[in-house]
Structure 1
Amino acid sequence: MIYFFQKKLRKKLREEWENPIRWGRDFTSIRSLFESTFPDPKSSIIDEKTWDDLDMGSVFRKIDTTHTSVGQQYLYRKMRLLQVPGGKLEDDYRVARLLQEDREVREKLQICLKGVKEGDASIVTRMLFKKFPEVSLSKVAIVIWSMLSVFTLVFSALIGGFFLILIPLIVGINFAISRYFENATDKITYVFYYLYNIVATSERIANLDISHDIPDYRELKQNKSSIRTIRNLLKLLSVSQNHEGIIINNAMYLLNLVILYDLLIYSFSIKRIIRYQEIIKKCYLAIGAIDTNIAISSYIYRHKSICNPKLGAAHKIELVDTYHPLIEDYVANSFSTAGASALVTGSNMAGKTTFIKTIGVNLILARTLWFCHATQANLPILDVFSSIKTEDGLEEGKSFYFSELERLNEFLKITEKGGNCLFLIDEIYRGTNTVERVAGAAAVLQELASNSIVFVTTHDIELATYLRKQYEMWYFEETGSTTHPFDYKLRSGVCETRNALKLMDNIGYPKHITKHAVELAKKMEDEG
């Protein structure tokens, strides 16, 4: 019977790993580990604007096939921290690749992960990695009152008569005390119950016989004795949160009314839990890492056109047959630039913005998960910042142009401090007039390129005149076909064609308006 259920479970796990099910995600909860822990000093953080600009939340959803809330949080944190090559960055990928190839080991770990309690772990994360809330309790007072409660209840039951009135009185007082501390103790016992599941799962993983070098498994194995001690302690602390049996729930409720069990156990155990906090953190992070590596192994299996990047100090970006992971019917592009920044021109909807997003996303994936969507990748070790989805700040009274000014001023301050970044800028200063847009953009872009790499898109081909010394010119163009107007292929040079008026005509603007617009455009060009 056990063999039958194991076989059925393995089959289900295999199907989900090969063809994952999509579901919604609560990023408020998923962000908890990232917000509660300090990154390695060697790591850099992807800021909120860049994460949003590059649609990294959607990229995360595509990669995330984790089984646990802890795994989700770990993967999110991993994708927000840019790491240096070598060490953990490459080691994690090696483990993911190993789990892709060794189905037996992968499924053993997946079965163990099923033991982690389902549900939101954000409150657990914040308590564990920040500070356990301590309820001010006197051990002596709790013990004396608990003993007095038991004695009074037994005495009243045996003597009877007038003393029976003491039974509801004691129960009522204990109920009032429980209610007074309920918010704190319920939250804490829930955390203990969740941590009990984490530690128990860690122990099960540590008991597995795995010959491969998996660092997180090895660390759990080394701490197995301490993990067993913590598991027993947490089981005692969290028994009142065990919702698997009605009898146990009711029994624990009555026990709390008689001797304030939760408060009694908490007061005697909290210092021991805090003493073991570092081991519990190791269990938490190991579960998250193992779950994350299994999710990445699934992603690698489902995406054949990926490669491991070569990350170096040189300002060189080389990508062969690269593409954006969120585009299903993608057109791959190859690109190489040594040191120079890039000015990308082209018609509307030709692929300019998608291209600079592709560069940014692949550099982030290279430095967080150690793979790129390309057949070959040579990339610099740069931090990534973007200005793409700039919007009006209506509540702050900021215009589109002013919001972009502020963002690009941040880039200039970074440049003053040494730069060494990749700046991605879409349609620079498109919120102002042509003369000032070109003049301002040229001055800013020249400065940013002094010690960083800049990828900027624009319709202002005049910028090419001012930027040729520091920028290589690239463009996308139209095919001339009405059914497939763009081929989305990157070319060297500057785009000389325009399509804004043609698009107006294609979507059904009145003919007399588009005709008049064409005449005006020609007149403006003739007048210079």
Structure 2
Amino acid sequence: MQLIGLVLATLVILTALDIRKNRLLKDVVIKDFGKEKGNLHCEAEIDSIRYYYNCKKSCTDVDDITWNDLDMNRIFNEMNTSITNIGTEYLYALLHKTENREEVLKERDRITKAIDEKDELRIRLQMILWKIGRSYNHSVYETLDKCREIRIGSIYPHLLVLFSFVLSCLLLFYNLWAGGLALTGCIILSRISYYKTMKRIPDFHQWYLKCFAKMLKAAGHLEMQRDEEMESYAAKLKDIRKYFKWIQIKSIFLTNHGTGIVTDAADLILDYIRILTHADIIILHSLSRTITAHFDKVEQLYEIIGFLDSMICVASYKRQLPYFSSPDFCKEDKKILEAEGLYHPLIEQPVTNSIREDKSIILTGSNASGKSTFLKTVAINAILSQTIFISTARYYHANYFQVFTSMALTDNLVNQESYFIVEIKSIKRILERGDRQRPVLCCIDEVLRGTNTLERIAASSEILTELGSDNAICIAATHDIELASILEGLYSNYHFREKVTEDEITFDYQLHKGISTTRNAIKLLKMMGYADNIIERANKRLDDYIKSGSWSHSHKWL
């Protein structure tokens, strides 16, 4: 009776602790939603995060140059409040894949709105996803994918170990000495063969197969959510779970990597059982065969969980924006880019701008006036509109674009390529893109800045002519005013300007029509404390060039 009482008391305590843990967890998810930005620095885990995307990438995706130019890792990090590794991996891939199917984007919008508006639904989803857990620097998709490649060898020796152990235990009841001798032999042989086999199987495979079992358990809870927004997903999950009926039970015998005392103690006992019976090896073989046979269903389960987790991230991110709008996509056979109140989502106090164009754009203006930021703002909005169906603008109307940039380029020291070589390769990839039917939005900062003025203007004008005549809206920022004249008619001209006083230069960061007529480089030198004689000679040289059209020799000024 005392033993029964102790067991009951233990169960009551564990139940009370579990209830308290769930209450604390619920408080956290309520408090953080819409307030906390993601704090995962994805660079540290980029190889594992990228694995799913690398398996799914296509020629119309946001490529690495564009992703880096736009600092999309920062946007991803701020948006990524995912609960599972699966959500992180799925969101990273989703932000790369610019959609051109309205029904896909509208479905994402439908789910994020439901999550935002229905607190109880969101909290239930978050609580379910928390039970899956996460691990540092491992890809769930990679592990599930590579589980199809587990090579244990023949399963029969391990089945023989299991049956030998069971028979030895039974023999103990008939003959203690014979049974003890047989059991000792089984223990020695099972340990030797167990460790020899397990050396070929990475330990984290077992953890993620347990994670897969947790995914199935979560799918069961998601399937039971009685909400109209979840009906289609519940039906899919119900169908998926039919193919994996026994996995949750089988996963008990896999390594748990527990962190609590109770879990560690239980796992220690199970370790001995695994070694003596080879139960985990047999189960790994079985699970690998099951996953291989039904990998399409594994992918569907992974993607539904990843989708729901990432949509919770998006819903939370939307609450943190000053404002946003749902994009309106052009269904006519024409190029259009129209936005009102457009702003950069990474700038805390952004200046907004508006644009309405059906042609490509030459963007001029002085240093630090806002040209590069505007290019990034337009490109980021196109990506967010076609991935998570939000625009950081009061109104956004445009095509379903492929998005390319050529902006934050550097020398490639590994491949021994100069800045100019890197630059011309970057622009060439836009000209030679795979999909010629889908319109392109390309943003280029300082075309061919890595070469001399005469060749730069000649080559740039022809490259921009090619892009402007193609199925593209090209926005090119430049200091070469000559390009605005050469491309007049094919490109529209816009500029940013500044206000210059004796002691300072101020910028309004507002987009204006026309060509820039102001300069500030020499003025900035003066403000930064350069010697007066340098400033005077620079101004004199510039004035003489404007009058004569040629540069004089330096020794005339000394």
TM-score (norm 1): 0.91
Give the aligned residue type for 2:212. Answer: L
Q: 1:503 aligns with which of 524, 533, 546?
A: 524
Distance 1:268 1:243 in 2: 27
**Are the aligned partners of 2:404 and 2:440 in contact in 1 as well (CA < 8 Å)?**
yes
Secondary structure of the residue aligned to 1:405 is helix
**Are the aligned partners of 2:243 and 2:294 in contact in 1 as well (CA < 8 Å)?**
no
Q: 1:60 aligns with which of 67, 70, 76?
A: 76
Quote how far apart the aligned CAs of 1:501 are.
0.9
Distance 1:95 1:366 in 2: 16
Asked if 1:457 is matched to 2:473, the reply is: no
Asked if 1:44 is matched to 2:60, the reply is: yes
Give the aligned residue type for 2:410. Answer: E
Deviation readout 1:138-182 (Å, 9 max, x if unpaired) = 233322233234545776898778997776654343223222222
- CA 1:325 to 1:271, structure 2 compared with 1: closer, same or farther past 3 Å? same
Q: Which residue of 1 aligns with 2:340?
A: 320
Asked if 1:526 is matched to 2:543, the reply is: no
Q: Which residue of 2 aligns with 1:389?
A: 408
1:379-418 to structure 2, matched below 5 A, reads: 379-414=398-433
Q: Which residue of 1 aligns with 2:98?
A: 82
Distance 2:318 2:369 in 1: 29
Q: Which residue of 1 aligns with 2:316?
A: 298
Distance 1:239 1:468 in 2: 68
Secondary structure of the residue aligned to 1:81 is coil
Asked if 1:429 is matched to 2:444, the reply is: no
**Are the aligned partners of 2:446 and 2:476 in contact in 1 as well (CA < 8 Å)?**
yes
Secondary structure of the residue aligned to 2:498 is coil
**Are the aligned partners of 2:384 and 2:390 in contact in 1 as well (CA < 8 Å)?**
yes
Query: How many residues are treated as equivalent by the alignment?
Result: 523
1:67-466 to structure 2, matched below 5 A, reads: 67-120=83-136, 122-129=138-145, 132-151=148-167, 170-185=186-201, 186-213=203-230, 215-220=232-237, 222-223=238-239, 226=242, 229-236=245-252, 238=254, 245-312=263-330, 313-338=333-358, 340-414=359-433, 420-451=439-470, 452-466=472-486
Distance 1:36 1:248 in 2: 37
Segment drifting more, 230-239 vs 249-258? 230-239
- CA 1:417 to 1:492, structure 2 compared with 1: closer, same or farther past 3 Å? same
Q: 1:517 aligns with which of 535, 538, 554?
A: 538
Secondary structure of the residue aligned to 1:513 is helix
Segment drifting more, 60-69 vs 466-475? 60-69
Give the aligned residue type for 1:323. Answer: Y
**Are the aligned partners of 1:178 and 1:260 in contact in 2 as well (CA < 8 Å)?**
yes
Segment drifting more, 161-170 vs 486-495? 161-170
Q: Which residue of 2 aligns with 1:468?
A: 488
Secondary structure of the residue aligned to 1:336 is strand
Quote how far apart the aligned CAs of 1:4 are.
6.3
Q: Which residue of 2 aligns with 1:12?
A: 28
Give the aligned residue type for 1:328. Answer: E
Distance 1:514 1:165 in 2: 98
**Are the aligned partners of 2:363 and 2:371 in contact in 1 as well (CA < 8 Å)?**
yes
Distance 1:48 1:12 in 2: 35
Deviation readout 1:39-94 (Å, 9 max, x if unpaired) = 6xxx8211111111111111111211111111111111111101114112111111
Give the aligned residue type for 1:524. Answer: Y
Distance 2:249 2:180 in 1: 36
Distance 2:23 2:172 in 1: 57
Deviation readout 1:221-245 (Å, 9 max, x if unpaired) = x437527715435534536556651
Q: Which residue of 2 aligns with 1:477?
A: 497
Give the aligned residue type for 1:281. Answer: E
Give the aligned residue type for 1:320. Answer: E
Give the aligned residue type for 1:107. Answer: I
- CA 1:157 to 1:507, structure 2 compared with 1: closer, same or farther past 3 Å? farther
Distance 2:165 2:308 in 1: 47
Deviation readout 1:410-461 (Å, 9 max, x if unpaired) = 2232399567311211011111111111111111111111112111000010
Segment drifting more, 17-26 vs 103-112? 17-26
Distance 1:265 1:412 in 2: 52
% identical equivalent positions: 23
**Are the aligned partners of 1:203 and 1:227 in contact in 2 as well (CA < 8 Å)?**
no
Deviation readout 1:82-115 (Å, 9 max, x if unpaired) = 1114112111111101211111111111111110
- CA 1:243 to 1:270, structure 2 compared with 1: closer, same or farther past 3 Å? farther
Quote how far apart the aligned CAs of 1:256 are.
2.6
Give the aligned residue type for 2:334. Answer: A
| Structure 1: gaps of 5 or more residues | none
**Are the aligned partners of 1:388 and 1:425 in contact in 2 as well (CA < 8 Å)?**
yes
- CA 1:140 to 1:129, structure 2 compared with 1: closer, same or farther past 3 Å? closer
Secondary structure of the residue aligned to 2:319 is helix
- CA 1:214 to 1:296, structure 2 compared with 1: closer, same or farther past 3 Å? farther
- CA 1:132 to 1:123, structure 2 compared with 1: closer, same or farther past 3 Å? farther
Deviation readout 1:225-276 (Å, 9 max, x if unpaired) = 5277154355345365566512222212211332222123334453234334
**Are the aligned partners of 1:237 and 1:266 in contact in 2 as well (CA < 8 Å)?**
no
- CA 1:157 to 1:501, structure 2 compared with 1: closer, same or farther past 3 Å? farther
**Are the aligned partners of 2:37 and 2:317 in contact in 1 as well (CA < 8 Å)?**
no
**Are the aligned partners of 1:139 and 1:268 in contact in 2 as well (CA < 8 Å)?**
no
**Are the aligned partners of 2:89 and 2:306 in contact in 1 as well (CA < 8 Å)?**
yes
Secondary structure of the residue aligned to 1:31 is helix
Segment drifting more, 90-99 vs 145-154? 145-154
Distance 1:78 1:419 in 2: 19
Distance 2:517 2:146 in 1: 57
Secondary structure of the residue aligned to 1:475 is strand
Segment drifting more, 481-490 vs 317-326? 481-490
Distance 1:326 1:6 in 2: 34
Secondary structure of the residue aligned to 2:347 is coil
Quote how far apart the aligned CAs of 1:21 are.
4.7
- CA 1:234 to 1:13, structure 2 compared with 1: closer, same or farther past 3 Å? same
**Are the aligned partners of 2:253 and 2:279 in contact in 1 as well (CA < 8 Å)?**
no
Quote how far apart the aligned CAs of 1:196 are.
1.0
| Structure 2: gaps of 5 or more residues | 1-15, 550-558
Deviation readout 1:463-516 (Å, 9 max, x if unpaired) = 111100210000001122556610000000000111111111111222222222
- CA 1:90 to 1:407, structure 2 compared with 1: closer, same or farther past 3 Å? same
TM-score (norm 2): 0.86
Give the aligned residue type for 1:519. Answer: K
Distance 1:260 1:228 in 2: 22
Give the aligned residue type for 1:442. Answer: S
